[in-house]
Structure 1
């Protein structure tokens, strides 16, 4: 059994390897490496492991569950840029925003109700504008959250024009069931960005694409991703509590 100290050391080494692979993928795609953000997804991992990566210089971390992020964030340095990733229940907006003052981004908003609740709570709490990504279901799986690609323009327009306390920052997608995606998923999101930017009269460089996880982040970068979410490749397999 791996000791916590060994696991933390392994995570730092894995993180450095991931950053090198990100740099190489960016260079292959003709993108400057500093244009690609790496979100270290620490779901189910202990505070000590996150702290090791922080001490190694990383500042951007992500979580998928509100309860987990509101427990972890207060125990860690305030200059961490936290990302909430995936579907957010609209009734959890207040808990998330009040519990994580240094929340940098929500990836992603998948309906108008969530957008409206976030917008209202940001205003009520007197926070600065919150950056959000619209989540698009590029794989067509019913189990996946996200708007249909045909509806991405309407939701992006709602966020940008009707939610003054939110900053529409781009689009995101979750991968296939095995957390790998085909190029078609990435092309679909890229096409959505083209349509959204045309409708909102935005420069495409101002519209982020968050796509790619542990199994496919290099392909995602080569397909134009500016934000990759890497968890198990850095931290090791996730550790879920066994059911009794």
Structure 2
């Protein structure tokens, strides 16, 4: 099937409350434009340099999501246009986003990446760390807004394990939602990818990151 057919099938199956981020990493601009012509506007990249190049060349109404691990020294390159940063996993990074957003007179929306998987290779902070950060540090940062959480389940065929990890993120989200802070508006749970998004949605996700189910296998 074509990208447009894949996308239409996927969109028709999704609840209206769920935002689809089309993961366009490693994909050429022509593929992104094929999805764009169906009406897709949210695209996810995992490398800032790639995202900058694509944002420069493609329509300006695209909402770019930074879904990969973010290096602090590269935040400045995307601060002028990034729509949502999914992978905030420490306070130093959040402070850098705030600093660079201020230079562009912007407020940048961010998700706290929570480590719910058992794999050591996955990034993310603990629920306790996230809670402390929201309670003590975030209010001083005027150019960011924490709008939710992001998590990646363990790469496994064990359905019950994935379900437990997704449910854990939903529980953490509900707990963090109760914290009152002027620049914290918890509304987004970003979890679920091509292989597990139906389960993620059933567990409370309202934002999914889907690549191969739309664009086919990645080009490395």
1:106 to 80, 85, 101: 85
The alignment's C-alpha RMSD in Å is 2.1
1:30 equivalent in structure 2: none
Question: In structure 1, the residue corresponding to 2:66 is in which secondary structure?
Answer: strand
How many pairs does the alignment contain? 217
C-alpha separation in 2, matches of 1:105 and 1:159: 20
The Cα of 1:158 is off from its aligned counterpart by: 5.3
1:134 to 89, 109, 112: 112
Structure 1's 95 and 178: CA in aligned 2 closer, same or farther, altered over 3 A? farther
1:224 equivalent in structure 2: 204
The Cα of 1:201 is off from its aligned counterpart by: 7.1
Alignment of 1:66-105 (within 5 A): 66-98=48-80, 101=81, 103-105=82-84
The Cα of 1:71 is off from its aligned counterpart by: 1.1
1:52 equivalent in structure 2: 34
C-alpha separation in 2, matches of 1:182 and 1:79: 34
TM-score by structure 1 length?
A: 0.83
The Cα of 1:200 is off from its aligned counterpart by: 2.8
2:122 to 144, 152, 161: 144
List gaps (5 residues or longer) in structure 2: none
C-alpha separation in 1, matches of 2:138 and 2:206: 20
Question: In structure 1, the residue corresponding to 2:118 is in which secondary structure?
Answer: coil
| Structure number with higher helix proportion | 1
TM-score by structure 2 length?
A: 0.91
Structure 1's 160 and 201: CA in aligned 2 closer, same or farther, altered over 3 A? closer
List gaps (5 residues or longer) in structure 1: 1-8, 24-32
C-alpha separation in 2, matches of 1:42 and 1:124: 28
